[in-house]
Amino acid sequence: MKKLIAMAALALAAVSLATAEIAFGARGAFGWGVGTTLADGWGSIERAKTVSTGGAAFVRLPLGEVLGVQAELGSTEHIIAVDAGDGYTARYATLDFPLLLTWTIPAGERFALMPLVGAKLSVPVAKIIMHDDDGDEVIDIDYDALWSLVVGVSVGSYFNEHIGIVCDLRYDVCTDALYADIADESVELGTSRPLLLSAGILIRF
């Protein structure tokens, strides 16, 4: 019986992939650290200067007519501006692996609204570099990988049956505090929670 259920599930998945559209695309993103916080002792954050920039490639696989799974591979540079008497800026870069569940809501022939939610793993690709106001490097430190909850909404506009543009707004709720290895100790720096606006191109097959 279990084998029959498994075979039926595989058959339904195959039919879903055969009848629904697979989409590929790429997007660029810019974010503001609206929810980013610093640990005690690091000063106060300058939100206007705390930003994120990056981009990603993605593929969206259908799970039916409206549901889908979107896997992404991207990179992000994070800039955190701190006011601690003497101001300084911390920069670090991550390689990002979001995996999102999507729900497509058609809005006419050429538009679609798509809420999305999922998880993201961010792996460090460079040390955190801290600079003072003069641009001189103060310190460079290692840090750990981070997990985030991603919630957002995407809007697609299609030029024809296959090609369109997509814009989305996401809140990246990092569930892990940013810890750095300083003098052989793990020290909490803060938590990164940017609001990200992105735009890109989408190709459907």
88-133 residue pLDDT tens: 788 889 999 999 999 999 888 789 999 999 999 999 998 888 877 7
The per-residue DSSP string of 120-152 comes to EEEEESS-EEEEETTS-EEEEEEE--EEEEEEE
pTM (predicted TM-score): 0.81
Contact 104, 66 (CB under 8 A): yes
159-204 residue pLDDT tens: 888 899 999 999 999 998 887 766 677 778 888 899 999 999 999 8
Here the contacts of 40-45 (C-beta below 8 Å, separation 24 or greater) are 42/82, 42/84, 42/189, 42/190, 43/82, 43/83, 43/84, 43/85, 44/82, 44/83, 44/84, 45/80, 45/81, 45/82, 45/83, 45/190
